[in-house]
Amino acid sequence: MSKSVAILGLGTMGSGMAANLLKAGFSLTVYNRTAAKAEALVRDGARLASTPAEAVKGASIVIGMLADDTASREVWAGRDGALEAVQQGAILIESSTVSPVLIAELAQLASAHGAELLDAPVTGSRSQATAGQLTFLVGGSDRALEAATPVLKAMSKEIVHLGPVGSGAKMKLINNFLCGVQVASLAEGLAWIERSGLDRDKALSILKNGAPGSPLLGAISARMVNHDYTVNFLLKLMAKDLAYAQSEASDCGVHLKTSEAATGHFETAIAKGFGESDMASVIEPLRGQ
Ligand code: NAP
């Protein structure tokens, strides 16, 4: 592979994505605020950079996989940020779930530095990132996407081009709005089942196999039942996604009342210390009521 790739952010998702880039044979440089998380990747052949600026030197494709708007702004545009050192003509791919407002800001900055931005947030979680089975929701030009496609393919099962820059970020927030509301309503429903005197497994089987059933309901209800909060998707990140969704929908004249109610449950869980646990733990405060 001739392309030199840099990835910024090696959390739950970025570490799996980076591993697949190495497997596909790309020359890879990694940056993470907490450098220790890069150890396994470095053993497998990645080069570790100590700043985002150092990471992107010579890279024709740069991917960001960071927590939120604050982290993304810091890594792309902060001190020793990636933008100050990007190569002319580089394609920058922001895969973090961030606000469309930030994407517009980063796209302008990228252009001012002679680079081009794609927003390409993902659906799929830890296991899909590890297996190279993500779906990328892409906004940006045909030309940039064509150049990025071999790299995106190494991490995904599907690449959907939704329109101009910002389109991927918008679609991702709509997707996660529906996920967050469903997880919160499942928490209420399961807490209710557990107090109702019904057989829990029979009740859940009816829901999973009936009209309310979905891949999310199946996966999250199993974790709730088993009290297994091993992190696939941090609870605090879902609260973040719902906040961005509410702001974005409001700009389109839509008031996300169900999201506000769901946010209440995620905020209560954060206040009770579950922010760093999997989002399935949103049920715990409801069980304790
Ligand atoms: P994560 O495990 O929490 O990783 C977050 C990454 O952001 C880490 O590399 C972290 O560095 C870095 N970071 C956080 N704050 C920072 C700051 N102020 N400055 C510099 N770096 C900072 O999150 P994740 O699960 O990988 O998710 C990454 C993105 O993908 C998020 O936007 C999330 O919403 C989205 N997403 C997640 C999933 C999922 O299932 N997990 C699925 C789809 C999309 P440290 O290691 O130093 O903390």
d(Cα 34, Cα 281) in Å, to the nearest integer? 25
Residue nearest to ligand 1 atom 4, measured at CA = 11
- Please check whether residues 88 and 179 belong to one and the same domain: no
d(CA 104, CA 170): 11
Average pLDDT, the chain: 97
Same domain, 143 and 192: no
116-151 b/e (C-beta count within 10 Å ≥ 16 → b): bbbbbbbbbbbebbbebebbbbbbbeeebbebbeeb
Q: 138 and 197, same structural domain?
A: no
Active-site residue list: 172
The stretch 123-142 carries a mean pLDDT of 97
Q: What is the mean pLDDT of residues 48-72?
A: 98
How many independent structural domains does the chain possess? Answer: 2
Q: How confident is the model at residue 172 (pLDDT cuts 50, 70, 90)?
A: very high
Pocket test for ligand 1, best of 66, 106, 278 (most atoms within 8 A of CB): 66
- For 289, other C-beta atoms within 10 Å of its C-beta total 7
Domain that holds residue 105: 4-163
**pLDDT confidence tier of residue 189, bands split at 50, 70 and 90:** very high
Question: Do both 212 and 94 map to the same domain?
Answer: no
Domain boundary among 163, 191, 225: 163
Whether 44 and 174 map to the same domain: the answer is no
Q: 70: CA distance to ligand 1 center in Å?
A: 11
Pair 113, 216 in one domain: no
**For residue 174, what is the domain's CATH number?**
1.10.1040.10
Q: Are residues 141 and 174 in the same domain?
A: no
- The per-residue pLDDT for 288 is 85
**Residue 2's pLDDT band (cuts 50, 70, 90):** low
The closest residue, in CA terms, to atom 29 on ligand 1 is: 96
Q: Are residues 159 and 238 in the same domain?
A: no
| Residue 289 confidence (pLDDT) above 80 | no
Q: Which of these three, 163, 188, 206, is where a domain ends?
A: 163
In this prediction, residue 3 carries a pLDDT of 81
CB 167 within 8 A of CB 119: yes
What is the CA(244)–ligand 1 centre distance, in A? Answer: 15
Same-domain status, 154 and 281: no
pTM, rounded to two decimals: 0.97
Which are the contacts of 15, defined by CB distance < 8 A and separation ≥ 6? 37, 40, 41, 129
> What pLDDT was estimated at residue 258?
98
Distance 190 CA to ligand 1 centre (A): 29
Confidence of residue 252 (pLDDT cuts 50, 70, 90): very high
Ligand 1 touching residue 10 (CB < 6 A):
yes
pLDDT band per the 50, 70, 90 thresholds, residue 155: very high
Is the CB of residue 266 less than 8 Å from the CB of residue 280?
no
Predicted local distance difference test score (pLDDT) of residue 1:
44
Amino acid at 78: G
- Which of 163, 191, 215 terminates a domain? The answer is 163
Tell me which residue has tokens 């496609």: 149
Ligand 1 centroid from CA 175, angstroms: 18
125 lines ligand 1 (CB under 6 A): yes
Pair 26, 159 in one domain: yes
**Quick one: 181 and 58 in the same domain?**
no
Give the CATH number, domain containing residue 124. 3.40.50.720
Q: How far is CA 12 from CA 9, 17, 67, 199, in A?
A: 9, 9, 10, 35
CA gyration radius, the chain: 20
| Tokens found for residue 280 | 């399935």
DSSP per residue over the chain, as a string? Answer: ---EEEEE--SHHHHHHHHHHHHTT-EEEEE-SSGGGGHHHHHTTPEEPSSHHHHHTT-SEEEE--SSHHHHHHHHHSTT-GGGGPPTT-EEEE-S---HHHHHHHHHHHHHTT-EEEE--EES-HHHHHHT-EEEEEES-HHHHHHHHHHHHTTEEEEEEEESTTHHHHHHHHHHHHHHHHHHHHHHHHHHHHHHTS-HHHHHHHHHHSTT--HHHHHHHHHHHHT----SSBHHHHHHHHHHHHHHHHHTT---HHHHHHHHHHHHHHHTT-TTSBGGGGGHHHHT-
Q: Is the CB of 81 under 6 A from ligand 1?
A: no
pLDDT tens string 9-55: 999 999 999 999 999 999 999 999 999 999 999 999 999 999 999 99
Token look-up 């990645």 returns 46
Q: Are residues 104 and 159 in the same domain?
A: yes
Which of ligand 1's atoms lies nearest the C-alpha of 15?
A: 26
Which has the closest alpha carbon to 271: 235, 245, 246? Answer: 235
